[in-house]
Structure 1
Amino acid sequence: MDHLVAFRRDVHANPELSFHEFRTTDAIVAALEDAGLSPVRLEDTGAYVDVGAGPIALGLRADIDALPILEETDLPYASTRTGVCHACGHDVHTTVMLGVALTLKRLLDAGRLHGRVRVVFQPAEETMPGGALAVIEQGVLDDVPRILALHCEPRIDAGTIGTRIGAITSASDTIKIELTGRGGHTSRPHLTEDLVFALAEIAVNVPAVLNRRIDVRSAVSVVWGQIHAGSAPNAIPATGYMAGTMRCLDGDAWQDAGKMLDEVVRQVAVPYGVDVKLEHIRGVPPVVNAEAETDLIEDAARSEIGSGAIVLTPQSMGGEDFAWMTNKIPGSMMRLGTRTPGGETYDLHRGDYAPDERAINTGVRVMAAAALRAIAELNAR
């Protein structure tokens, strides 16, 4: 644990954005090579390593990138890069999977590892559609039969994990809309295109229409994060911009809503005579946890931390590119509790997020035990 905590703090102090994780990749590779392993670098950033011999029984995935957020923790190992920090806990994910690789190597050296596990350190989870696609395109999962991952969960205590069969995250897209008109005086909106009013109508009515045309149980959620237009109170601007996200709990409904979005936006805007430019950036589908792989995690957790430390986690409206991997092969993502018992509840993607480092021990124990069980299952066939 001392070695892993020191590694995590070094990565935390030196965060890197998506597809720029050069130092992080170097640190991972160096730690694996120091243990006598032979990691393989991916084309840009990231790496993977096989531990053991024979057919691969299990893949394990960690994401390694940081976010463009200013850290606000005042920790002695806080980010040294202004405006970049590990506000989503990827430094913990990376450290846990490094710890699993090192643990499995120790078992291999002791003659107690009778199979092979592949540990993948994936770049660029925080981009759309995500670095997982680059991993898949490079063939890293071609001979991997099943895969597990974890994600920090600041709402449950360190020492516990959360699991769920079925969708655990939502689909997530980005929507960008630009409106143009002639502009004019606010006293004569009938002589021009009332662009600000059109923006307001789109902001309110596009989510409302989608919620009426898509099964409500799929929970299509369109939320705007940006609306910009105008510079004077008595002038109707000639251009305006808005952007937001569309999230959905169901993969099929996500496809339907995506096909419908352009039509709905233009129908809402057409009465106001504005020109519409829509950019719909497809993101990721939901992560769907397979039953057998979720059972694998839970059985490992029961043996390592006890059944009382396993909780049912709710489905998140957040997006996660591990979904591309679970679309390709069966897999499951667990939630790793990072809240200090009795301490403050943080949130992800906030500059003050400070996970309890004791969670690293829990993550390593559960994931290493799951790997051993996957090997035993494969050998028993």
Structure 2
Amino acid sequence: MSETRYCEVQDLHDARHELAEIRHHIHQHPELSYEEVDTARFVADKLEAWGFDVTRDVGGHGVVASLKCGASRRTVGVRADMDALPIREQTGLHYASVHDGKMHACGHDGHTAVLLGAAQQLAKTRNFDGTVHLIFQPAEEAGSNSGAEQMIADGLFERFPCDAIFGLHNHPGLATGTFGFRAGPLMAACDTVKVRITGRGGHAARPHLAVDPVVIASSLVMALQTVVARNVDPTEAAVVTVGSLHAGHAPNVIPEFSTMEMSVRSFSADVRATLEQRIRALITTHVEGYGGTAEIEYIRGYPVLVNSEAETEFARQIAEELVGADHIIAPFPPIAGSEDFAYYLQQRPGCFIRLGNGEGRPMLHNAKYDFNDDNLTIGAAFWTRLVEKFLAKDRA
């Protein structure tokens, strides 16, 4: 009996040109979160043409493509995101965005093309026993009420059961074709805090008759830097960054109010709760100590992304078989960015993977960023092999 053969990168060689054309088309026609109508239609039409059972409009513009082979009841999900960012592209590429102020600056065009490449290969070879659900998700960049949340609320895992779920994101600065894996917390929770400080306006020459919200805000920025330094265990990681501070319009007027916004990031639920408690308390008491009042809007964003042990090791082994141990980084360093794939991992075991987009290339969310087409066949082969081995006939 011959040994089962699983997908190799060279198996996708003939598909490289088509995958590049798919990626360039998506890149050229970016759609922002909640607006992915044409992208979803483009994706769904291709999947239907390849023989998948396609469900459209899952949790908004989400697309789920299912393919069953054999008699096994085992299932696996693989997700790609589809939305773009409100950035004016500066790449000068022949396939640059035709929608001014909208751009695929995070590589979601590449993630989608990679999963479409795997879909085409899986439909062609059907070398697995079970059901694969390919999840094309909208609104990852939303920050809150995201595509993952909406698809889950629309019954994603009830309608399309997954024993495990996997996702992937490109990583500029890491060599092309290099995979990064980390079990446990990989990406941070990200919360946003909006504060309005109300004082008492007045003349710049008579500050004793006013309550200056500019002074209060300036002092508060510095006080907030103690939250992590003096409230979080030094072995834990957290970030509090005030990214926006506004007050007044004239040099001779003490304004009535000031506003600030901050980003709060953490890698554990306990630290996240501590940060919120301390930030709320500090803002309130600090502002009141100066004679002002504070209104606080604390917006919880994506939670900590926590990869499960077994699924991370399984995915790592797949990548090592595909590209060799020299192209694997495990454990990969934690990432302070956030990702709504975390919501899936709260529901099912799985792994979120990083794939190098090339050294010296523009970073994510940069107007000159572009997904590296050299990763199209590597990524597609990885997803194909992962599905084949996860749903292998001889796998328990």
TM bracket (short chain): over 0.9
CA distance in 1 between counterparts of 2:395 and 2:377 reads: 29
Q: Which residue of 1 aligns with 2:172?
A: 154
- Indicate yes or no: 2:90 matched with 1:72: yes
Q: Which amino acid aligns with 1:327?
A: Q
Q: Which residue of 2 aligns with 1:16?
A: 31
CA distance in 1 between counterparts of 2:60 and 2:104 reads: 20
* Residues 237-316 of structure 1 mapped to structure 2, 5 A cutoff: 237-312=255-330, 313-316=332-335
**Number of residues paired by the alignment?**
374
Q: Which residue of 1 aligns with 2:155?
A: 139
- Indicate yes or no: 2:354 matched with 1:347: no
Measured against aligned partners, the alpha-carbon deviations of 1:147-196 in whole angstroms (never above 9, x if no partner) come to 11000100112121111111110010111111122211223222111110
- Which residue, out of 354, 363, 370, partners 2:379? 363
- Indicate yes or no: 2:340 matched with 1:321: yes
How far did 1:248 drift?
A: 0.7
Q: Which amino acid aligns with 2:348?
A: I
CA distance in 2 between counterparts of 1:51 and 1:345 reads: 36
Secondary structure of 2:140's match?
Answer: coil
Q: Which amino acid aligns with 1:237?
A: P
Most deviating of 168-177 and 307-316: 307-316
Alignment check: 8 A CA contact 2:246 2:259 kept: yes
- Which residue, out of 217, 223, 234, partners 1:216? 234
CA distance in 2 between counterparts of 1:326 and 1:82 reads: 35
Q: Which amino acid aligns with 2:19?
A: L
Q: Which residue of 1 aligns with 2:4?
A: none
Alignment check: 8 A CA contact 1:211 1:220 kept: no
- Indicate yes or no: 2:356 matched with 1:337: yes
Alignment check: 8 A CA contact 1:300 1:367 kept: no
Q: Which amino acid aligns with 1:63?
A: D
Q: Which amino acid aligns with 2:361?
A: T
Q: Which residue of 2 aligns with 1:372?
A: 388
- Which residue, out of 76, 83, 89, partners 2:107? 89
Q: Which amino acid aligns with 1:325?
A: Y
Alignment check: 8 A CA contact 1:70 1:85 kept: yes
- Indicate yes or no: 2:209 matched with 1:191: yes
Most deviating of 324-333 and 295-304: 295-304
Alignment check: 8 A CA contact 2:62 2:147 kept: no
CA distance in 2 between counterparts of 1:252 and 1:331 reads: 22
Q: Which residue of 2 aligns with 1:2?
A: 17
Q: Which amino acid aligns with 1:350?
A: N
How far did 1:56 drift?
A: 4.1
CA distance in 2 between counterparts of 1:203 and 1:163 reads: 36
Query: Cα RMSD over matched residues?
Result: 1.5
How far did 1:145 drift?
A: 1.3
How far did 1:3 drift?
A: 1.3
CA distance in 1 between counterparts of 2:135 and 2:41 reads: 14
Change (3 A) 1:249 1:156: same
Q: TM-score, normalised to structure 2's length? A: 0.91
CA distance in 2 between counterparts of 1:43 and 1:311 reads: 34
Q: Which amino acid aligns with 2:41?
A: D
Q: Which amino acid aligns with 2:389?
A: R
Measured against aligned partners, the alpha-carbon deviations of 1:230-273 in whole angstroms (never above 9, x if no partner) come to 11222211121111210012222112222332212111211122
Measured against aligned partners, the alpha-carbon deviations of 1:10-30 in whole angstroms (never above 9, x if no partner) come to 110111111110011011001
For structure 2, the 5+ residue unaligned runs are 1-15
Q: TM-score, normalised to structure 1's length? A: 0.94
CA distance in 2 between counterparts of 1:218 and 1:135 reads: 32
Most deviating of 267-276 and 171-180: 267-276
CA distance in 1 between counterparts of 2:262 and 2:101 reads: 22
